[in-house]
Amino acid sequence: MRLNNIVATYTTVRGQVTAVDGVNLEIPNGIILGIAGESGCGKTTLLKVLYGDVGYPLALKEGNVQYGFWDKNGQEVTSENIKEQWFKGISYIPQSSMSSLNPVIRIRKQFVDFLDSNKSKAEVLEEVRAYVKKLDLPPEAIDAYPHQLSGGMRQRIMVALATFFQPDIILADEPTTALDVVVQKGILLLLMDLQEQMKNTIMFVSHDMGVHYQITHKMMIMYAAKVVEFGASETIFAKPLHPYTKMLIESLPTVGDAHLRQGVGGRPPSLWEEMRGCRFAPR
C-alpha cells in the first residue's frame, strides 16, 4: 500500500483545520502495522481517509492512496474507487461496537446486507454460523440484537463482520477500547490469529504502547497531524529515533519500577497555526 502526500482537513466554523498533513508511506503487505500517538494527532482521521469514509466536514485535500490490490476488472484500487471494495477488499473495525451495530436489527441481518448474489440467504447464514463459531462465539449469537450481547461478544461480532470476506486490508481503530483486560487479550490474540491465517494487512490504532509491542510488525508514530517515525516495531522499541517516540515508550510501567514518571512539558501545537520544522521541538 502506498500513501502519497495525504493531506486531510476538517471544515469548522473557524475555517479549515489540517488533521493529517503530508503523509508519505509505503506499507508492506501481510503485516500488522501499529499507529500510535496522543488523542487528536490524526490517527482516526487517517483510517477514515484510507477507508474512503470521506464526507463533510472531512475532506481529502491532497494526495491519494494505492492499495496494492486490484478489482475484478483488473484495475488497481485507489482512493477514487475504494468504496466499491468495502468489506470485500477493505474493512473497518471502529472503536465502539454498540454505536456501530444497528440496534434495531438482529446480527444475522447485518451479515446478509453484504450477501453475495451467487449464494442464497440460507447458505450465507450457514457459513456465518460456522465462522462465528471459529471465533469462539456461539452460533446463536447472530440471532441476537446487539444489546443482548456483552461488550466482548459485540466486539468479536465486529471482528467477524470485518474478516468474514477475507479482505486484503483491515483497519482497526482501538478495537479493545472499554473492554476489560482479559477480553482485550482475547480480541488481540484473535486478530493476530486471523492475520496469520489470511496473510492480509491490519492497520491497528491504539494508545497502548504495550499492545503495539506485543502484536505489531511495524509502527507509525503520529504527532500533530504528522508521521514522526516509521519502522520495524522491534527496532523502534529498542532504539527510538524521535524524542516523542522515546517518551511514549518510557511511559510504559514495568514490574518493580517505583520511579515517578514525568509528563511531557508544554502542550501540543495548535493545528490552526502554520508550523515549520519539527512540531515537537517546542516541547
What is the H or E stretch that residue 99 is in? Answer: helix 97-100
b/e map 81-108, b = 16+ CB within 10 Å: ebeebbbbbbbbbbbebeebbeeeeebb
Is 32 in contact with 202 (CB distance < 8 Å)? yes
Q: Answer for the pair 249, 209: CB distance below 8 angstroms, yes or no.
A: yes
Could you say which architecture CATH assigns to the domain 1-89+167-283? 3-Layer(aba) Sandwich (3.40)
Global pTM reads: 0.92
Mean pLDDT of 156-181: 90
pLDDT at 115: 65
pLDDT band at 230 (very low <50, low <70, confident <90, very high): very high
Q: Which 3 state secondary structure label does DSSP give 263? A: coil
* Buried-state track 185-222, b at ≥16 Cβ within 10 A, e below 16: ebbbebbbebbeeeebbbbbbbebbebbbebbbbbbbb
pLDDT given at position 79:
93
Neighbour-count burial of 177, counting CB atoms closer than 10 A to its CB (0-12 exposed, 13-18 middle, 19+ buried): middle
The pLDDT confidence band at residue 117, using thresholds 50, 70 and 90, is low
Q: Is the pLDDT of residue 178 over 80?
A: no
- Rg, Å, the chain Cα set: 20
Which is more confident, 115 or 108? 108
pLDDT tens digit sequence for 233-272: 999 999 999 999 999 998 887 777 777 777 777 788 888 8
What is the pLDDT, as a whole number, of residue 268?
81
DSSP calls for 161-219: HHHTT--SEEEEESTTTT--HHHHHHHHHHHHHHHHHH--EEEEE-S-HHHHHHH-SEE
pLDDT tens for 30-56 read 999 999 999 999 999 999 999 999 999
Local confidence band at 130 (pLDDT 50, 70, 90 cut-offs): very high
The DSSP code for 269 is P
Residue 116: pLDDT above 70?
no
The three grid cell numbers given for residue 163, joined into one nine-digit string: 474478516
Residues forming a β-bridge with 92: 171
Question: Which H or E run includes 227?
Answer: strand 226-232
Name the residue among 161, 252, 190 with its Cα closest to residue 32: 190
Please count the other Cβ atoms lying within 10 Å of the Cβ belonging to residue 178.
13
pLDDT at res. 180: 84
- In this predicted structure, which of 93-102, 133-142, 183-192 has the lowest mean pLDDT? 93-102
List, in sequence order, every residue forming a beta bridge with 66; answer none if it has no partner.
2, 78
Average pLDDT over the chain, rounded to whole? 91
What does each C-alpha distance from 222 to 82, 100, 128 come to in angstroms?
24, 25, 37
Question: Highest mean pLDDT: which of 69-73, 89-93, 123-127?
Answer: 89-93
Domain boundaries, the chain: 1-89+167-283, 100-164
In this prediction, what percent of the chain has a pLDDT beyond 90? 66
Confidence of residue 131 (pLDDT cuts 50, 70, 90): very high
Q: Is the pLDDT of residue 199 over 80?
A: yes
